[in-house]
Amino acid sequence: MNIRRTTTTRRAMTAVAITTGLVLTVAGCGGGDGDDDKAAKKSSPTSPAEQGESDDEKGDSGDAPATDKVLAEVKGEESITLTITSAVRDEGGFVTVSGKVTNNGGRFWAAANWRGEERELNKNGSSVAGANLIDNEGRKKYLVLRDTQGRCLCTKFTGGVKPSQTAEWYAQFPAPPEGTTKVDFQVGAMPPAPIELTEGE
């Protein structure tokens, strides 16, 4: 009887040990899967939606691009629009006027009438060499500055301006007296464009 009871007891204990081992093994596997999931979440890249939100937030904080201030705009010969965006009096005793020219016509534009009629300016084709500032109160006209070889201190439209294209330009003039702040800019057959001079920094 003792031998039978001992054998039965051993079998029961063995069954309990095996069952306990299986439970611990299953629990261990379950815990490992949870850790893997956490690690996978940590190492996974941000979703496209989340990236989009981040980009939007950055975009909202960005500054809007600055736009040019228009001092004057005139339309005239050959469907040309002349825009003036700056007229600054500098400490060196001259004024720099700048802006844009847009060819609204259907033909190539070479600024042939803008180089001026003076013989000295013949070498300044396709330029703003013939432009001038008119001080109506002082009754004086200021011509574009030029170097010792007769080249104007202004933009030359090398290659001209094609239809629907816009080109930037500038021209430098002797500065009117300090008290003069309003002048007219005129070039070629374009209408005079009234502008106000500002002081340079």
Q: Between 26 and 84, whose confidence is greater?
A: 84
Residues 55 and 79 both lie in one domain: no
Residues 29 and 108 both lie in one domain: no
For residue 163, tell me if it sits in a domain. yes
What is the distance between the alpha carbons of residues 76 and 74, in angstroms, rounded to a whole number?
Answer: 7
DSSP 146: B
The alpha helices in 44-161, defined as continuous H runs, are 48-61
pLDDT of residue 181: 94
The token pair at 174 is 């002797």
Q: Give tens-digit pLDDT for 107-154.
A: 999 998 898 888 777 778 889 999 999 999 999 999 999 998 889 999
Measure the CA dihedral 108/113/115/121, to 10°: 130
Confidence band of 174 (pLDDT split at 50, 70, 90):
very high
pLDDT of residue 67: 56
Residues 78 and 146 both lie in one domain: yes
What is the distance between the alpha carbons of residues 195 and 201, in angstroms, rounded to a whole number?
Answer: 19
DSSP 155: -
Domain interval for residue 121:
72-199
Confidence band of 48 (pLDDT split at 50, 70, 90):
very low
The CATH number that applies at residue 146 is: 2.60.40.10
Per the CB < 8 A criterion, the answer to whether 108 and 163 are in contact is yes
Residues 13 and 50 both lie in one domain: yes
For residue 151, tell me if it sits in a domain. yes
pTM tops 0.75, yes or no: no
What is the distance between the alpha carbons of residues 121 and 173, in angstroms, rounded to a whole number?
Answer: 15
Lowest-pLDDT range, 36-45, 159-168, 170-179?
Answer: 36-45
Q: Is the model's pLDDT at 101 over the cut of 50?
A: yes
Residues 116 and 24 both lie in one domain: no
- Give the torsion sign (CA, 194, 196, 200, 201): negative
DSSP lists the bridge partners of residue 134 as 141, 184
**In this structure, how many other beta carbons lie within 10 angstroms of the beta carbon of residue 187?**
28
For residue 67, tell me if it sits in a domain. no
Residues 38 and 6 both lie in one domain: yes
Q: Give tens-digit pLDDT for 53-69.
A: 444 444 444 444 445 79
Q: Is the model's pLDDT at 46 over the cut of 50?
A: no
DSSP lists the bridge partners of residue 100 as 83, 168
Question: How many CA atoms are closer than 13 Å to the CA of 10, on its beta-carbon side?
Answer: 6
Residues 54 and 109 both lie in one domain: no
Average pLDDT across the chain, whole number: 77
pLDDT of residue 17: 44
pLDDT of residue 80: 96
Residues 32 and 97 both lie in one domain: no
pLDDT of residue 23: 40
Task: Give the residue from 151, 155, 147 showing the smallest Cα distance to 126.
Answer: 155
Q: List b or e across 80-91, with b for residues whose CB sees 16 or more CB atoms inside 10 angstroms.
A: bebbbbebebee
The token pair at 92 is 């060196």
Residue with tokens 């004024």: 95
Mean pLDDT of 172-200: 95
Per the CB < 8 A criterion, the answer to whether 126 and 142 are in contact is no
Final residue of a structural domain among 19, 42, 61: 61
Confidence band of 157 (pLDDT split at 50, 70, 90):
very high
Mean pLDDT of 16-44: 45
